[in-house]
Amino acid sequence: MELFWKVAVELMHPFVFFLILGGVTAGLFVGAMPGLTAAMALAVLLPFTFTLPPLHGLVALGAVYMGAIYGGSFAAILVNTPGTPSSIATAFEGYPMAKDGRALEAIGLATVSSAIGGLAGVFFLLVLSPPLARLSIQFGSAEYFWVAMLGLTLIASLSPGSTLKGFLGGSIGMLLAAVGVAPIGGENRFTFGMPVLQGGVEMIVALIGFFVIPELFNMAAHGRAALAEVTIESRKRGTFLGAIRTVFSMPVNLVRSCIIGEIVAIIPGAGGSIANLVAYNEAKRASRHPERFGKGAVEGLVASESSNNVTVAGSMVPLLTLGIPGAPPDAVILGVMLMHGLRPGLDLFTVSGDLTYGFIISMGLAALYMIPVGLMGGRLIYRVIVKTPHYMLVPSIALVTILGTYALRNSLSDVVIMLLLGTAGFVLKELGVDSAPIVLGLILGGIAEMGYVQTILRGTALEHPWMMLFQNRLSQIIIVLMVLSFTSPYLSAGIRRLKNPMNEQRNEEPPE
């Protein structure tokens, strides 16, 4: 109790209030810019935090992190471009909503969902850290491989047209992931004698290329402004109270998405980029109207935005208890903690408890502050985008995108790669191969390769090294989940057909 008061007094300090508010606002704008990532924002802040006391430094970093993951939703909703990889699924529903004149409603929903997700992550971190940390280290190389395989089954639901084309996209993504220095063996692959390709295809570079460039081509080709004006009806639903009512009307979706976010967050290396897609997929599978997904289904938006903000505090579980950074921004936070002489582990919660709990609770405050900042900031960004004529909007977005891509690794070749991939992405999209499976393949390709080769190496002494893939209980559980996830769309369709064959036949469209 004494600790509680100490922490409360620390956090009541006006300077801390200002730090969190400023951090969330700065994070929001960083996240909204494609190419500027949470990790980069934290790295830029680093020298500044060295001048502050440890608690203040960590509070500022936590607030920026929280804000950036949330800010990614703006670009996703308003220009169909995930600002960070954590809001890929947000674009699937948010952008169709915005095109229908429901932009403010989508922003309101994203804001409230993000805040709830952020608070849920803090709750898990405060209450369930020790058991979650024990679960987190159960994931070995074999489990990583199977998690990546489970992720690849999402392709089936991410490619609304043809599943086959979806898998084609996934394969392209996995091939792109193979460019550069091999993670195991250290040899150069697909570099074609160019030293710069040793760096591989950075995931964010591909994300920007595949999502932004085709959208810009579209906007330019059709000569239209990006969005329709918001209707009065939708404006009402976009207010704070309206959004709260909608979000809380789907409690099951909310709870499920938060739990998914937390589980993905504690697997080091997965993070928000996978959490939002898994939560979205599950929301779609559970929905009574899966056909509405991709056309502005609010359930999908809520699932994506709540799950990705859970991962912010969620990934602090392995970080604070074991010193394992689960995502790039976590590595920066770990660096700051070590520089201040704070060693992850039990001591962090006892000896320096006021600091640790102060940091955790400040993340909860950051999640709350997102609501006013986001609703106001969102309206501002929306107005700018709607009022700007397309012949100015397209080049402006292109410029920001190019700058963001360059800033990522200070590399001009990344800009070239981004533009090439973007052009390829546009052509592929015209041929019916969507961007999302390609990016998913790129994210998971590396994880799958590492997991597979490491596991086979670990089994060197066995007669059949591949047996190592099936040995652990956790691996077996993930395999079952994978099989269920892959077959359930077909199974449920089959069951429906068995139940009312007449109905199905009538609805069936004639083959093209």
463 binds another protein (CB under 8 A): no
C-alpha–C-alpha distance, residues 141 and 470, integer Å: 11
Q: Which of 67, 325, 378, 441 binds another protein (CB under 8 A)?
A: 325
- Contact pattern from residue 98 through residue 137 relative to another protein, giving x for each residue in contact according to CB under 8 A and a dash for the rest: --------------------------------------xx
Instruction: Say how far residue 436 (Cα) sits from the centre of its chain.
Output: 12
Least distance to another protein, CB of residue 446, Å: 8
How many Cβ atoms are within 10 Å of 473's Cβ, its own excluded? 8
Q: Does the protein bind another protein through residue 404 (CB under 8 A)?
A: no
> Under the criterion CB under 8 A, does residue 458 sit at the interface with another protein?
yes
- Rounded Cα gap, residues 485 and 491, in angstroms: 10
Tell me which residue of 45, 72, 47, 73 sits closest to 60, measured CA to CA: 45
- DSSP state, 179? S
Residues 205 and 417: their CA atoms lie apart, in Å, by: 7
User: Per-residue x/- marks for another protein, 36-55, CB under 8 A?
Assistant: ---xx-xx--xx--x-----
Nearer to another protein, 350 or 500 (CB): 350
The verdict on 186 binding another protein (CB under 8 A) reads: yes
Q: Does 477 bind another protein (CB under 8 A)?
A: no
Residues in Cβ contact with 419 at an 8 Å cutoff, skipping those fewer than 6 apart: 209, 213
Rg, C-alpha atoms of the chain: 22
Smallest separation, CB 427 to another protein (Å): 27
The DSSP secondary-structure symbol of 162 reads: -
Applying CB under 8 A, which part among 117-125, 235-243, 457-465, 477-485 lies near another protein? 457-465
Residues 307 and 296: their CA atoms lie apart, in Å, by 18
Min separation Cβ 319 and another protein, Å = 10
Does 450 contact another protein by CB under 8 A?
Answer: yes
User: How many chain residues touch another protein (CB under 8 A)?
Assistant: 59
Q: Closest approach of Cβ 127 to another protein, in Å?
A: 22
- Choice between 285 and 409, CB closer to another protein: 409
For position 345 contacting another protein by CB under 8 A, the verdict is yes
Q: Which residues pair with 181 in a beta bridge?
A: 188
Q: Considering only CA atoms, which of 6, 498, 510, 62 is closest in space to residue 315?
A: 62
Site membership for another protein, residue 442 (CB under 8 A): no
Contact 82, 75 (CB under 8 A): yes
Q: Is 331 near another protein (CB under 8 A)? A: yes
Rule CB under 8 A: is residue 403 a binding residue for another protein? Answer: no
Q: Is 198 in the site for another protein (CB under 8 A)?
A: yes
3-state secondary structure of 189: strand
Joined together, the tokens standing for residue 374 give: 């986001």
Tokens 């074991």 correspond to: 322
- Tell me the CB-side half-sphere exposure of residue 168, using CA atoms within 13 A: 12
Q: What is the DSSP string of 407-448?
A: HHHT-HHHHHHHHHHHHHHHHHHHTT--HHHHHHHHHHHHHH
Minimum distance from residue 363 beta carbon to another protein (Å): 18
Question: Shortest gap between Cβ of 193 and another protein (angstroms)?
Answer: 5
Q: How far is the CB of 368 from another protein (least distance, A)?
A: 27
Measured from the CB of residue 323, what is the shortest distance to another protein in angstroms? 5
Interface with another protein (CB under 8 A): 39-40, 42-43, 46-47, 50, 136-141, 180-188, 191, 193-196, 198-200, 202, 268-269, 318, 322-325, 328, 331-335, 338-339, 341, 343-345, 409-411, 450, 454, 457-458, 460-461
